[in-house]
Amino acid sequence: MSLLAIQVTTIGLHHYLVLGAFLFVCGLMTILLKRNAIGILMGVELVLNAANVNLVAFNYFSYAGTNGAPALNGQIFAVFVIVLAAAEAAVALAIFLNFYNNFTTIDVERASNLKG
Amino acid sequence: MNLISNFLAADVPTFSLQQLIQDQLGLSRGPVLTMVYGVFLCAAVFLPAVSLVAMFSIWWERKVAGHMQSRLGPNRVGPIGLLQSLADGAKLILKEDLIPTSADHFLYRLAPYLAFAPAFAVFLALPFGPSFCFEPMLNVGVFWILAMLSVEVMGVILAGWASNNKWSIYGAMREACQMVSYEIPLGISILVAVMAAGTLNMVELGHMQGGGIHTWLIYKNPFVFAAFFVFFVASLASNKRAPFDLPESESELVAGFHTEYSGLRFSFFFFAEYAAMFVVGGIQAALFLGGWNDPFGIIGYFNHHLNASYAADPGLNTAIPVLILNCVAAGIFVSKAMGIVFVQMWIRWTVPRPRIDQVLYACVKVLLPMSMILLLCGAIWQLVVPDHGGIPWVDYQPWDFVAWANVGLASLITQVVLALVGITAFSAVVGWVLYSAATGRGHKMRLTDPTDINEGTENLVKA
Amino acid sequence: MDAINSITNAHAEAVLFYLFGGMAALSALLLVLSRNIVRTAVCLLFTLMGVAGLYFLLHAEFLAAVQLVVYAGGTLILIIFGVMLTSKSPFSKFEPKPGEVAVALTVGMVLFGALVLALHSFPFPAASPDVQGKYPLVGLGQALLGDYLIPFEIASVLLLVVMIGAAYLAKGRRHEAEDMKHTTPASKTMRQWS
């Protein structure tokens, strides 16, 4: 009963931005730590999601436009990011499949043919 | 040039069941809070309802299968075998919970819930009545349904993968291919109907079809008519329903992706399949077949007037007629959805199963071009043919054909003609079924039926 | 009853934010730490669903549905297919070297610290404006076909190019059966690299 008496801070822009930063950093660490190429792709998707969260949070909190026609720029930006992320994932997977067909492994450490 | 009219301009005063409950209980208001209470209310209502629907569908399927194969189906447990599903459920619960040793335990346990949760979440968006829907009245109701049908694929893939079993993985890959491919014609045929309607809001769609059978969206233009059949076929594939039930083809893959599942986990998949059947039937009913409306527009008419009287004098007295109307509307919606479920069952036990490459051929080379052409032609129709927009009984009188002809003669003629075609086809099918049931014409005598030994041989089965 | 009546909108919003945000953040963390690539993909699914829930909270319902349809129901299925087609055994693992782990951890923590510090030192508007969830879909459609028509068309051309490119790249070589016919090494190599 007393739990509900706690004054809850209104969820503001800061909360969403910190969450976005955390997702971004997790994605970055995935890209750095994974040796499986598809794992790296998943890290990239995480980074893009973090950026999207930022965009949509800014769209909701920074008010620009009238009440009849609120600003939609952030959401449209995010829609395009999602579309392009899907396209890029498709091409990346096609490249990885080709790599796997040639080298029978998906380990990026083995992709060192052009070294030296 | 006639641009898509803004149907949201018509402000229909609405009675909201959830707001009534919230006010009676003294709960505070607020957008997020409304959403949360709505979710709890829907979950409390739909969890038993979905289980009931699934149990009834399972019994009905076995009865339909039996009668189509000239046998009786379950008839021991309960009056006409109605309690058979309960007996099946008890059996499944009492089975031993086996997890294969080399299976991925966490994913194996997670997969049934991932398959069931989206099928259950779709019920949130289905419009059971003008006021019997999720309060925020998702502005993107149709799209939410598409989203949930897409997430369902993950559960099936994980089930196949986590079982660590060749047959399961084959079933899972086939299923993923099939479901993902058929999502495209599914989505595009939904788009054709949404374009003709101009809104993604399921409640608006229901209001728009409230003027009688000729205002139903399927009769709006011939392209939506064709899109209904494209959607029906694509929904069969999306549900892994015969003739597209390769993922669970018993004769080929043991049981496909749920080979290793038994007992309660298997029943989750089973429930998910039957819930999805109802959901897909519900989408077709809501989008194409008039939703909660009857063929004469009575519900639309009374809905408008009863809501106006409630808005003028809110309180329990004026709320009761609205509630009764909504219950009738919900009954009509459920019966339409179950009719489509029946057609799905009918097709399952009639049509043989094609190969996976034939299934994908049908998707990519037949349904996809067809749906694209329908989309293009539907868009051109919207631009070229003038039509009044709005909600029947509020913005225009749906049975006043003279006024309608003045606004747009082409659309009136199209809708009336298509409605007559639809009524004729439906009555023909129903009439044929009733006729053959009455005269016994379409039904060969079973060898076990008793015949009078003194009668001639004219009643026996001809070779 | 009194306790339930005192639940306000702010409470509900906070609970939902921490629920969805927590799901997304926890899944992201598990994604970094997990060794099995299929579990990583499942963690990505939960992250995407958590982010979709956040979009619902931010009243971007269309975007949430797009996220679920395209990301969770499309891109993730593609990734899972890629995982299944390229794994030799269901549970193959790749271990990063300890030096790499140390570097990655340092970079991650420094970056996160810097970002959070930068965010807290800037006076962003704290409260949401009066536009209470009224992002009509009509506005989105009109913007996509109005102000943002050129990016829309470019995106469609890009998707066509990507479709053709990915289909060509993933086609693979189907010359293995014909290789057996050629006996000299030169012609075999010619066949392989054509």
The string of pLDDT tens digits covering residues A76-88 is: 999 999 999 999 9
DSSP string, B173-215: HHHHHHHHHHHHHHHHHHHHHHHHHT---HHHHHHHTTT-GGG
Q: What is the DSSP letter of B257?
A: G
Structure tokens at C177: 């059966």
Helix (H, G, I), strand (E, B) or coil at A70: strand
Question: CB-based contact (8 Å) between C108 and chain B?
Answer: no
pLDDT the model gives residue B253: 56
The answer to whether C155 contacts A80, with C-beta atoms less than 8 Å apart, is yes
Q: Say which of C7, C39, C77 has its CB closest to residue B176.
A: C77
The answer to whether C9 contacts B31, with C-beta atoms less than 8 Å apart, is yes
Helix (H, G, I), strand (E, B) or coil at A63: coil
In which domain, by residue range, is A101 found?
2-110
Q: Say which of C66, C116, C155 has its CB closest to residue A18.
A: C116
On chain B, the residues whose CB falls within 8 A of the CB of C15 are 36
pLDDT the model gives residue C153: 95
CB under 8 Å to B12, separation ≥6 — which residues?
B207, B304, B307, B391, B394
On chain C, the residues whose CB falls within 8 A of the CB of B103 are none
- In a domain, residue A83? The reply is yes
pLDDT band at A24 (very low <50, low <70, confident <90, very high): very high
Q: Could you read off the pLDDT of C64-122 as tens digits, one per residue? A: 999 999 999 999 999 998 888 887 654 456 677 888 899 999 999 999 999 999 988 88
| Phi, psi values for residue B396, rounded to 5° | -155, 160
Structure tokens at C55: 């979009």
Closest CA to B245 of B299, B189, B179, B185: B179
Nearest residue in C to A101, CA atom: C172
Structure tokens at A78: 């995010």
Q: Number of folded domains in chain A?
A: 1
State the first-to-last Cα distance of chain C, in angstroms, to the nearest integer: 77
pLDDT the model gives residue C155: 95
pLDDT the model gives residue B71: 82
Closest CA to B330 of B293, B360, B383: B293
Nearest residue in C to A95, CA atom: C169
pLDDT the model gives residue C134: 65
Question: CB-based contact (8 Å) between C4 and chain B?
Answer: yes
Nearest residue in C to A16, CA atom: C21
On chain C, the residues whose CB falls within 8 A of the CB of B147 are 64-65, 68-69, 72-73
Q: Is the pLDDT of residue A52 over 90?
A: yes
The C-alpha angle A18, A21, A23, rounded to 5 degrees, equals: 110
pLDDT the model gives residue B170: 78
Closest CA to B285 of B223, B329, B347: B329
Q: Could you read off the pLDDT of C130-168 as tens digits, one per residue? A: 555 567 788 888 888 888 999 999 999 999 999 999 888
Q: Could you read off the pLDDT of C22-44 as tens digits, one per residue? A: 999 999 999 999 988 889 999 99
Structure tokens at B195: 């374009």
CA distance C3 to B300: 40
Q: Say which of A10, A17, A28 has its CB closest to residue C10.
A: A10
* Domain layout of chain C by residue ranges: 1-90, 143-194
Closest CA to B159 of B13, B258, B232: B258
pLDDT the model gives residue B57: 92
CA distance B123 to B39: 11
Q: Is the pLDDT of residue A1 over 70?
A: no
CA distance C83 to A41: 11
pLDDT band at A66 (very low <50, low <70, confident <90, very high): low
The answer to whether A36 contacts C37, with C-beta atoms less than 8 Å apart, is yes
DSSP string, C14-42: HHHHHHHHHHHHHHHHHHHH--SHHHHHH
On chain A, the residues whose CB falls within 8 A of the CB of C172 are 97-98, 101
Helix (H, G, I), strand (E, B) or coil at C134: coil
CATH of domain C1-90: 1.20.120.1200
Q: Residue written as tokens 């149709």?
A: B142
Q: Number of folded domains in chain B?
A: 1
| Burial of residue C60, with CB atoms counted within 10 A of its CB: 0-12 exposed, 13-18 middle, 19 or more buried | buried
Asked if B243 contacts B352 with a C-beta cutoff of 8 angstroms, the reply is yes
pLDDT the model gives residue B459: 58
Cβ-based contacts under 8 A for chains A and C: 246
pLDDT the model gives residue B14: 65
pLDDT the model gives residue C130: 56
| Burial of residue B210, with CB atoms counted within 10 A of its CB: 0-12 exposed, 13-18 middle, 19 or more buried | buried
The C-alpha angle C71, C76, C77, rounded to 5 degrees, equals: 120
pLDDT the model gives residue B73: 84
Q: At what angle do helices B264-287 and B84-94 cross, to 10 degrees?
A: 140
The answer to whether C79 contacts A94, with C-beta atoms less than 8 Å apart, is no
- In a domain, residue B381? The reply is yes
In which domain, by residue range, is B299 found?
7-16+98-436
Nearest residue in B to C7, CA atom: B28
Q: What is the DSSP letter of C133?
A: S
Question: CB-based contact (8 Å) between C48 and chain A?
Answer: yes
Q: Say which of B32, B104, B139 has its CB closest to residue C9.
A: B32
Which residues are bridge partners to A70 per DSSP? A65
Asked if C47 contacts C28 with a C-beta cutoff of 8 angstroms, the reply is yes
Q: Say which of B35, B140, B157 has its CB closest to residue C80.
A: B157
Neighboring chains of C (3 or more beta-carbon pairs < 8 A): A, B
pLDDT the model gives residue C186: 53
Q: Is the pLDDT of residue A55 over 90?
A: yes
Q: Say which of B30, B33, B151 has its CB closest to residue C68.
A: B151
pLDDT (tens, 9 = 90+) of chain B, 463 residues, equals 223 333 333 445 567 777 777 777 777 777 778 888 888 888 888 889 988 988 899 999 999 998 888 888 888 888 888 888 889 889 988 988 888 888 888 899 899 999 899 988 988 889 998 888 776 666 788 889 899 988 988 888 888 888 888 778 877 888 888 888 999 999 999 999 999 988 888 888 888 898 888 889 999 889 999 999 999 999 998 888 778 877 666 556 566 777 788 888 888 888 888 999 999 999 999 999 988 999 888 888 888 888 888 878 777 788 888 889 999 999 999 999 999 999 999 999 888 888 888 888 999 999 999 999 999 999 999 888 888 777 888 778 888 888 888 878 888 888 889 999 999 999 998 898 888 878 876 556 566 666 556 555 665 665 5
Q: Could you read off the pLDDT of B103-121 as tens digits, one per residue? A: 888 899 899 999 899 988 9
Q: Residue written as tokens 């006043």?
A: B400
Q: Residue written as tokens 């799905």?
A: B344
The C-alpha angle C134, C140, C145, rounded to 5 degrees, equals: 160
The pTM assigned to this predicted structure is 0.88
pLDDT band at A40 (very low <50, low <70, confident <90, very high): very high
ipTM, two decimals, is 0.89
CB atoms within 10 A of CB B454: 5
Residues of chain B with a CB closer than 8 angstroms to some CB in chain C = 6, 8, 25-33, 35-36, 104, 106-107, 110, 138-140, 143-144, 146-151, 153-154, 157-158, 161, 164, 169, 173, 176, 180, 183, 187, 199-200
- In a domain, residue A92? The reply is yes
- In a domain, residue A115? The reply is no
